């Protein structure tokens, strides 16, 4: 069951790098940068994830996000998900899950939750996401 909205945001793809294949599957690394909220605090986000291409139109990916709030708090999210091509120009919709880690007192609640997310990127490289507590 979905619980509290933990964070949401949007931004832009900042880089793409082709990596050596994972077996027979092509592998790509993607970097993104944006802003949003995390537990109600305004935050900047920097992330890198890799994805492999599985059966036609399906991808598997893993990544890490670094969040920095306006108050100077830092949190890291590690996650994985399944993506599907959702439109022209490389538009993709990912759903997945992961966990946060932080030493911040303001964000400490994140250390004890499992999270699920919805992440969409359009053909121009603009992305948006929502992350929820998974109860």
**Domain edges within the chain:** 2-134
Please give the mean pLDDT across all residues of the chain. Answer: 95
The lowest-confidence range among 12-16, 31-35, 55-59 is: 55-59
In this prediction, residues 16-35 reach a mean pLDDT of 94
In this prediction, residues 30-56 reach a mean pLDDT of 96
CB 120 within 8 A of CB 130: no
Confidence of residue 82 (pLDDT cuts 50, 70, 90): very high
What kind of architecture, by CATH, is found in domain 2-134?
Answer: Beta Barrel (2.40)
Give yes or no for residue 90 having a pLDDT over 90.
no
CB 3 within 8 A of CB 132: yes
Give yes or no for residue 72 having a pLDDT over 90.
yes
Q: Evaluate if pTM is beyond 0.75.
A: yes
Q: List the structure tokens of 41.
A: 């605090």
């Amino acid at each position: 069951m979905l619980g509290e909205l933990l964070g949401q945001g949007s931004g832009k793809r900042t880089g793409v790098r082709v990596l050596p294949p994972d077996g027979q599957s092509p592998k790509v690394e993607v970097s993104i940068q944006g802003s949003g909220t995390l537990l109600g605090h305004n935050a900047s986000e920097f992330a890198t994830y890799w994805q492999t291409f599985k059966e036609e139109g399906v991808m598997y990916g893993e990544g890490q996000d670094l969040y920095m709030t306006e108050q100077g708090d830092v949190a890291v999210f590690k996650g994985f998900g399944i993506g599907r091509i959702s439109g022209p120009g490389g538009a993709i919709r990912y759903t997945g899950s992961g966990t946060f880690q932080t030493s911040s007192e303001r964000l400490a609640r994140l250390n004890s939750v499992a999270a699920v997310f919805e992440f969409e990127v359009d053909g121009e490289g603009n992305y948006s996401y929502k992350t929820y507590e998974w109860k």
